[in-house]
Amino acid sequence: MNKMENLAYYNGRISLIDEMMIPMNDRVCYFGDGVYEATMVNNHHIFALQDHLDRLYNSAGLVRIQIPYTKEELGQLLKELVLKVDAPEQMLYWQVTRGTAPRNHIFPKGDVKANLWVTIKPMKVKPQDQLLKLTDMEDTRFFHCNIKTLNLMINCMAAEKAEELGCDECVFHRGEVVTECAHSNISIFKDGVFITHPTDHLILPGITRKHMIDICKAHGIPVDETPFTMKQLMEADEILVSSATQLCRRAGSLNGQPVGGKAPELVKLLQDAYMKKFLEETA
């Protein structure tokens, strides 16, 4: 089988990413009307695929998008597509939009089917021992952050702010309460306890965050799913930023001030256990 440098898929059509053409009336173009997922691929094996499928279907249900595949059918399609890309280490991204129809705020009626997009490109997991630089920004997003929608303008603005300041990520907070980051979850260690914002409507229920909680519990580390403040963030023993593409990484500074560095043994335990899980599932 001839393998590709990268891959784009749209409703059955396959091409290189730069060559794929999308109808202008796809509702993503006007409204960002869709939901998405992303995860890493190692040795052509998709990491935590079932978790990501479960979250995709939950997000779609919350915004009333009917995905035209069963979870099993979509999972099998994704497994087949990652085999078509030459690089064994990849980032797999997929999204489902409400369909293609003339611009109208009202959902399209009749037999308009949802559209499936997939992109796959070579990517390696970031080094887990590299410290992150953080900045912060008031969280002005809407109140449905638990749904992984394509409406990410504020997230992009926050990520751009971080980039302009020479930082790696931007921490969102509503008043003094920390929620998450522009494209990651954020958690802390304090006095041996793993503390992370609860999975309410203000944060995305991160798959990596979920796995980190499981690992902590398996190793007897107490877990506290309670909102914490910016002051608690600055005073934390360690700050951990987690996502599907970066896994679990430490922060070393926030707005130019040094943070964390007080519980390296807990961070190493968590990172080592998570990398072991990643490598075993994608062996």
Q: Write down the pTM of the prediction.
A: 0.95
Shared domain check, 177 and 258: yes
Shared domain check, 103 and 12: yes
Domain end among 94, 122, 150: 122
Q: Clarify whether 148 is annotated catalytic.
A: yes
Which residues, 6 or more positions from 69, have their beta carbon under 8 angstroms from its beta carbon? 77, 116
The pLDDT, as a whole number, for residue 1 is: 62
Shared domain check, 100 and 17: yes
Please count the structural domains in the chain. 2
Identify the DSSP state of 100.
B
Residue 1 forms part of a structural domain: no
The pLDDT, as a whole number, for residue 2 is: 80
Shared domain check, 117 and 139: no
Phi-psi region of 111 (alpha: psi -120 to 50; beta: other; left: phi over 0): alpha
pLDDT in tens, the chain (283 residues): 689 999 999 999 999 999 999 999 999 999 999 999 999 999 999 999 999 999 999 999 999 999 999 999 999 999 999 999 999 999 999 999 999 999 999 999 989 999 999 999 999 999 999 999 999 999 999 999 999 999 999 999 999 999 999 999 999 999 999 999 999 999 999 999 999 999 999 999 999 999 999 999 999 999 999 999 999 999 999 999 999 999 999 999 999 999 999 999 999 999 999 999 999 999 9
Residue 2 forms part of a structural domain: no
> CATH number of the domain that 83 lies in?
3.30.470.10
CA distance 178 to 185: 10
Shared domain check, 137 and 12: no
Q: Are 169 and 183 in contact (CB under 8 A)?
A: yes
Domain that residue 12 falls in: 7-122
Shared domain check, 276 and 136: yes
Shared domain check, 216 and 173: yes
Shared domain check, 226 and 200: yes
Catalytic residue among 148, 190, 210, 231: 148
